[in-house]
């Protein structure tokens, strides 16, 4: 239903009057590279718009968190990095940081349950909204337990390992305050259940900003595999995003080594 090819038929099955009613403020909020204070900001690409990102924005704005979101149309990575979410642009699929692109090399995400067509950005948003609804509250206890064990991972207490993949990003800020975590967490390690690689993700400065507390080293950014392993002197590296907010290694030990080296950098 939300595959890259099949998505174009969505316009035929929408309730047109409902869409127009709900999207009045949606259209008014569209802008190019603009900023609205105190609103969530969602990025999508500029230029010709398509059914995919339009539906993705619409679905995301049905959620409480993004109900009044301002849409920023840009392909500028520096602008996208500062937004609360990015749809159909940016070259990253990472639900934890609200990034929903499907154009990047190696993308394989499908809906599952017998549906094997690769998902578009709208499909990714729909799948993740459904996931969050079922996993949001249980995630709090998982994050709390992992925070309590942070010194078992690294003596600095600044690296957290997730025992189970879950939507941790918003919980961590609330729990750090409640548990009086000091120093705060710089990196979260978790296994990618799609590829079995281990991800290292830099925690953002605040829950409302994409900027990292401590991004991965500049010299690593944009590198992949052998080039990244050579530059970092850490075997098994997979990639580091050009903004430095996320990277991956084939093993947990490798991801942990990347986190420790980044702390020292």
Digit-coded pLDDT (tens) for 154-200: 999 999 999 988 888 878 999 999 999 999 999 999 998 778 899 99
Tokens 């010709």 belong to which residue? Answer: 48
Q: Are residues 221 and 162 both part of a single domain? A: yes
User: Is the pLDDT confidence value at 39 over 90?
Assistant: no
Q: Determine the average pLDDT of the residues in 235-243.
A: 95
> In this predicted model, which residue has the larger pLDDT, 19 or 148?
148
Q: Is residue 114 part of a domain?
A: yes
Q: Is residue 142 part of a domain?
A: yes
Asked whether 213 and 169 are in contact (CB, 8 A), the reply is no
Asked whether 198 and 240 are in contact (CB, 8 A), the reply is no
Q: Are residues 51 and 149 both part of a single domain? A: no
Q: Is residue 89 part of a domain?
A: yes
Of the candidates 92, 127, 162, which is a domain's last residue? Answer: 127
Q: Are residues 97 and 188 both part of a single domain? A: no
Q: Is residue 1 part of a domain?
A: no
Q: Are residues 44 and 102 both part of a single domain? A: yes
Domain that residue 69 falls in: 6-127
Band of residue 49 on the pLDDT scale cut at 50, 70, 90: confident
| Domain count of the fold of the chain | 2
Lowest mean pLDDT among 16-30, 47-61, 154-168, 202-216: 16-30
Q: Are residues 153 and 97 both part of a single domain? A: no
Q: Are residues 174 and 213 both part of a single domain? A: yes
Q: Are residues 54 and 161 both part of a single domain? A: no
Of the candidates 69, 103, 127, which is a domain's last residue? Answer: 127
């Amino acid at each position: 239903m939300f595959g890259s090819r099949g998505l174009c038929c969505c316009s035929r099955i929408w309730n047109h009057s409902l869409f127009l009613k709900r999207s009045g403020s949606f259209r008014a909020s569209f802008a190019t590279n603009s900023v609205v204070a105190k609103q969530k900001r969602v990025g999508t690409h500029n230029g010709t718009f398509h059914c995919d990102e339009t539906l993705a924005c619409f679905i995301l704005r049905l959620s409480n968190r993004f109900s009044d979101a301002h849409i920023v149309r840009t392909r500028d990575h520096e602008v996208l990095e500062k937004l609360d979410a990015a749809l159909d642009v940016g070259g990253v699929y990472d639900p934890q940081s609200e990034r929903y692109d499907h154009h990047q090399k190696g993308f394989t995400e499908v809906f599952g349950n017998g549906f094997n067509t690769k998902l578009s950005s709208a499909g990714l948003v729909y799948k993740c909204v459904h996931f969050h609804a079922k996993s949001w509250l249980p995630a709090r206890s998982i994050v709390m337990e992992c925070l309590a064990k942070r010194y078992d991972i690294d003596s600095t207490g600044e690296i957290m390992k997730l025992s189970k993949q879950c939507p941790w990003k918003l919980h961590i800020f609330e729990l750090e305050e409640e548990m009086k975590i000091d120093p705060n967490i710089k990196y979260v390690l978790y296994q990618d259940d799609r590829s079995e690689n281990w991800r290292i993700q830099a925690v953002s400065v605040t829950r409302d900003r994409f900027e990292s507390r401590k991004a991965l080293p500049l010299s690593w950014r944009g590198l992949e595999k052998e080039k990244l392993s050579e530059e970092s002197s850490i075997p098994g590296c997979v990639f580091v995003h050009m903004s430095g907010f996320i990277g991956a290694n084939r093993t947990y030990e490798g991801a942990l080594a990347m986190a420790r080296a980044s702390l020292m950098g």
